[in-house]
Homo-oligomer: A and B are copies of this chain.
């Protein structure tokens, strides 16, 4: 049998992560007659957001595997191979097995790889891990960690935060080291980060904030993490969770420009400078919803919106499907407490030179508050001072936190003002939400509306 050397497809997607798979599924459902091929390096797709839970709740690493059923059902052809080059002129991708794939449209969903801090020494040692979206690697890491009694996590963003909580427990000493003054420092303001820290500390996890990790000690195997204050935290294993970097080498090699954030610039329809090549997900450079400046947000919420937009606009621009910029929206949970954020934090808004008002309300997520199973619910709102436009919100609460954060996300994306939020109709129920009178979004909206009111009447 002669090996197939040339393949022709209408749409080629490179990358099997969330954005690649979603772009393929959505694209095929809108352009039923087109052929879709998805090429990915990994034989097994995973759900990256579930990685932290392999240590605890999920019990079994296999649970993070995502089946190819949806892709197969739609008739997307999957090839497990690495794409080695892209020829823009002839519209051909070559894969590592020497196959040439001719495409009409190409979607780059190249994803991101763990950011390796070059100032952190000792990364080559045994039992030092990063968290790539790579199933065999995660399997090996989980096996190795099961014997480790002392684990240090470098990085207190949401991956480090979730992994620390899930790994912690009576049988394991866990320490988290974060260079910023507080945990979850990019997504949340300091007072919310302090609450996140408290939850880890109550679980017996040691949290060291405002401290740089400068190296990993050990001869062949990690024995500790060196801090900038000269001290060493003992460790049997070290997890480096200091963020991700867009994977763009293939695009660069193909001659596509790379933006100031290190990602691939795209227009509102996710098209690169070459309108037949689109990019979506972590590898795509997007623009801030508030300022229009290039930014680089690597969240599933952003990746999915981008993948859907790229897919729908592949062959025909749909004017109403515009993507007016990135609003970071995300949530996380440890134990029974969840944290959610949408849009700008107070700090980020100030850094961006917005004149703002903020208000925070702390209540209970059910009513009456004496019902069993209630949870404290804190909502912080960040509003543009003169326009009254909602710039961001942060939530701490229970099981409804993810969707409450999405309510705020919708307020921002629809450019609602604090006055329209104050007078919006909001459903409430004893067992499901706060009381209608003290519904947290309404209360913070009112506090800020009053301050705007005083300004406008003087």
Also in contact, A308 and B423, with CB within 8 A (given A58-B370, A331-B432, A368-B63): yes
B402 touches A399 (CB 8 A): no
Once bound together, how far apart are the Cα atoms of A226 and B343, in whole Å?
58
A326 interface residue per 8 A CB criterion: yes
B416 touches A318 (CB 8 A): no
Interface size class of A (residues with CB under 8 A): 35 or more
Also in contact, A417 and B300, with CB within 8 A (given A49-B367, A342-B427, A432-B331): no
**Complex contacts, A406 vs chain B, CB 8 Å:** 403-404, 407, 426-427, 433
Candidates B29, B426, B431; contact of A409 at CB < 8 Å: B426
A436 touches B400 (CB 8 A): no
Selected interface stretch from A4-12, A148-156, A236-244, A332-340: A332-340
B58 touches A422 (CB 8 A): no
A442 interface residue per 8 A CB criterion: yes
A137 interface residue per 8 A CB criterion: no
Q: What's the minimum C-beta distance from A50 to chain B, rounded to whole angstroms? A: 5
**Complex contacts, A26 vs chain B, CB 8 Å:** 446
A411 interface residue per 8 A CB criterion: yes
Closest to A445 in B: B308
B301 touches A436 (CB 8 A): yes
Closest to A428 in B: B300
Candidates B398, B422, B428, B430; contact of A312 at CB < 8 Å: B422
Candidates B57, B368, B402, B450; contact of A400 at CB < 8 Å: B402
A47 touches B305 (CB 8 A): no
Q: Give 22 pairs: A residue, B residue, CB < 8 Å, sorted on A.
A: A18-B436, A22-B437, A29-B450, A47-B367, A50-B367, A58-B368, A299-B427, A304-B436, A305-B424, A308-B442, A321-B422, A326-B425, A331-B427, A331-B428, A332-B429, A338-B429, A400-B402, A401-B432, A403-B406, A406-B433, A409-B426, A413-B424
The 10 closest A-B pairs by CB, nearest first: A402-B432, A403-B403, A329-B427, A399-B399, A414-B414, A410-B410, A333-B431, A331-B429, A402-B433, A304-B436
Given contacts A50-B367, A53-B431, A400-B403, could you give 18 more A-B pairs where the C-beta distance is less than 8 Å? A22-B437, A47-B435, A49-B429, A49-B436, A50-B430, A57-B431, A63-B368, A300-B427, A323-B423, A329-B426, A329-B427, A330-B427, A333-B429, A342-B427, A403-B404, A409-B424, A410-B411, A414-B416
